Amino acid sequence: MSKVYDVAIIGGGPGGLTSALYASRGKLSTVVIEKGQVGGQAATTEEIENWPGTEHTTGPQLTENMRKHAEKFGTEFVRDDVQGLEADGFIKTIKGRNAEYQAKSVIIATGAEPRVLGIPGEREFRGKGVSYCATCDADFFEELDVVVLGNGDAAIEEAMFLAKFAETVTIIVIHEEGKVDATPVVAEKAFKHDKLKWVWNSTISEIGGDGIVEYVDVKNINTNEVTRMDTHGVFVFVGTVPRTKAFANLINVDDYGYAIVDPQTLESNVDGVFVVGDCRQKHLRQVVTAAGDGATAAVLAEKYIHEEEGFIEDVVDVDKPVIVAFWSPTSEASMAAMPKIEAAVKELGDAVKLVKIDMYRNSRISSRYEIIEVPTVTVFNKGEVVEKLVGLDVTTEALVNKVKELN
């Protein structure tokens, strides 16, 4: 049988790498399954100026440090492309293209990929002048002319990076003159940049050339006028789409494919499966928020494993009836009921075991057994609920009779 990891992390971008650091530092056996180069989207930018405490770094540098940091605490890394996930019990199976992996909890950190425009020529010239990554391809355009489509932070920062190589960088912006979606600090720097040129109210309607990119057709969205512009390269930065397809049969996603998770715990609709970073619904998709998610999910994964293992050991894998008494420190009545229940258990001697569960601290198990008020007492036999007594009517007599019946 293959190794069962405590935590399997799918995706090695900043979200996955931070989960790996927290999980492995917390002494959980941890694997990161990454289909490409570790580092994710962050590794495709040369300009990171908003990682707290570091005025300037490059994406490859920052994510390589994250990888080493996680590895130092024992994280294993494997190269595989995950195709699906089975999670109908405590041990989950991750199906990679090369192998299957087993883990008690799973953190999906598959991020996002560049949105394509879907215009004529885009697919044909991909890698022949059309690019979605300045870091990867900028040096092919040394002293040549390029256009950038997009006007968010990524587009503008990447345009400035391209300007270090290219002769001219023309940014095509769909908004009216002077308006971009990038944050003001980024926009201000770009407007002062002498190598950047701007075309407003426009988009690209076609990319063309003879074997390699030679021109773009720029369409003014107000007048519909199309102007042909000679260029050697087209860099497209018009947002991203989440990579959740492989899990969409299992976890809840919204209309755009972003995973829907509990905002407090980042747990999906599947117990023990968490989703972090750019592939989940959230307001801000950045390295720092992916890292924050990663830390939260790893800590909650540890809690999940601890609770589940405790429950399996104390309740499920026990060869006599187990009385599970759900209580809460906020319910006086539930606390007052405990001595009564303890007395009933004492009367039964070795025939039964008592486990007390705080309903709020252990909300996952409480909701799995549909505990909606305390006190509630459930009698488990061979891992199954055979009796459920709700509220103040829990009588020692009922408990004693049920356990005697089972014995």
Which range of residues in 20-28, 36-44, 259-267, 333-341 is near ligand FAD by CB under 6 A? 36-44
Q: Which is nearer to ligand FAD, 158 or 307 (CB)?
A: 158
Which range of residues in 143-151, 152-160, 297-305, 373-381 is near ligand FAD by CB under 6 A? 152-160
Is 10 a residue that touches ligand FAD (CB under 6 A)?
Answer: yes
Is 21 a residue that touches ligand FAD (CB under 6 A)?
Answer: no
Which range of residues in 110-118, 191-199, 295-303, 361-369 is near ligand FAD by CB under 6 A? 110-118
**DSSP SS3 for 289:** helix
Is 81 a residue that touches ligand FAD (CB under 6 A)?
Answer: yes
Q: Which of 9, 48, 163, 324 binds ligand FAD (CB under 6 A)?
A: 48
Is 231 a residue that touches ligand FAD (CB under 6 A)?
Answer: no
Is 271 a residue of the active site?
no
Q: Which is nearer to ligand FAD, 291 or 323 (CB)?
A: 291
- Spot the catalytic one: 81, 88, 136, 393: 136
Q: Which of residues 332-391 bind ligand FAD (CB under 6 A)?
A: none
Helices and strands (H, E) in the chain, number of each type: 9, 21
Q: Which is nearer to ligand FAD, 36 or 178 (CB)?
A: 36
Q: What gap in Å lies between CA 47 and CA 50, rounded to an integer?
A: 9
Q: Which is nearer to ligand FAD, 187 or 246 (CB)?
A: 246
Q: Which of 137, 267, 271, 278 binds ligand FAD (CB under 6 A)?
A: 278
204, β-bridge pairs: 218
Q: What gap in Å lies between CA 297 and CA 266, rounded to an integer?
A: 6
Quick one: 211 exposed, middle or buried, by C-beta within 10 A (0-12, 13-18, 19+)?
exposed
Is 278 a residue of the active site?
no
Roughly what angle, to the nearest 10 degrees, separates helices 287-311 and 14-25? 40
**Gyration radius from the chain CA atoms:** 28
Q: Which of 30, 45, 170, 376 binds ligand FAD (CB under 6 A)?
A: 45
Q: Which residues contact 232 (CB under 8 A, 6 or more apart)?
A: 129, 141, 144, 145, 146, 212, 213, 214
Which range of residues in 212-220, 257-265, 284-292, 336-344 is near ligand FAD by CB under 6 A? 284-292
Q: Which of 11, 129, 209, 375 binds ligand FAD (CB under 6 A)?
A: 11
DSSP state of 315: I
Is 36 a residue that touches ligand FAD (CB under 6 A)?
Answer: yes
Positive or negative: CA dihedral 271, 273, 276, 282: negative
- Spot the catalytic one: 6, 137, 153, 293: 137
Phi, psi of 74 (to 5 degrees): 105, 5
Is 234 a residue that touches ligand FAD (CB under 6 A)?
Answer: no
Q: What gap in Å lies between CA 147 and CA 235, rounded to an integer?
A: 6
Query: Shortest Cβ distance from residue 43 to ligand FAD (Å)?
Result: 7
According to DSSP H, which parts of 163-262 are helical? 184-192
Q: Which residues contact 150 (CB under 8 A, 6 or more apart)?
A: 171, 236, 237, 238, 239
Is 91 a residue that touches ligand FAD (CB under 6 A)?
Answer: no
Strand 76-79 to 100-108 pairing: unpaired
Q: What gap in Å lies between CA 18 and CA 63, rounded to an integer?
A: 10
Is 292 a residue that touches ligand FAD (CB under 6 A)?
Answer: no
DSSP state of 115: P
Q: Which of 5, 8, 12, 273 binds ligand FAD (CB under 6 A)?
A: 12
Q: H or E stretch including 332?
A: helix 332-348
Q: What gap in Å lies between CA 391 and CA 211, rounded to an integer?
A: 76
Phi, psi of 368 (to 5 degrees): -60, -35
Q: Which is nearer to ligand FAD, 64 or 214 (CB)?
A: 64
Query: Shortest Cβ distance from residue 237 to ligand FAD (Å)?
Result: 6
Is 154 a residue that touches ligand FAD (CB under 6 A)?
Answer: yes
Q: What gap in Å lies between CA 296 and CA 291, rounded to an integer?
A: 9
> Looking at the annotation, which residues are catalytic?
133, 136-137
Which spans of this chain sit near ligand FAD (rule: CB under 6 A)? 10-16, 33-36, 40-42, 44-45, 47-48, 50, 81-82, 109-112, 154, 157-158, 243, 246, 277-278, 285-288, 290
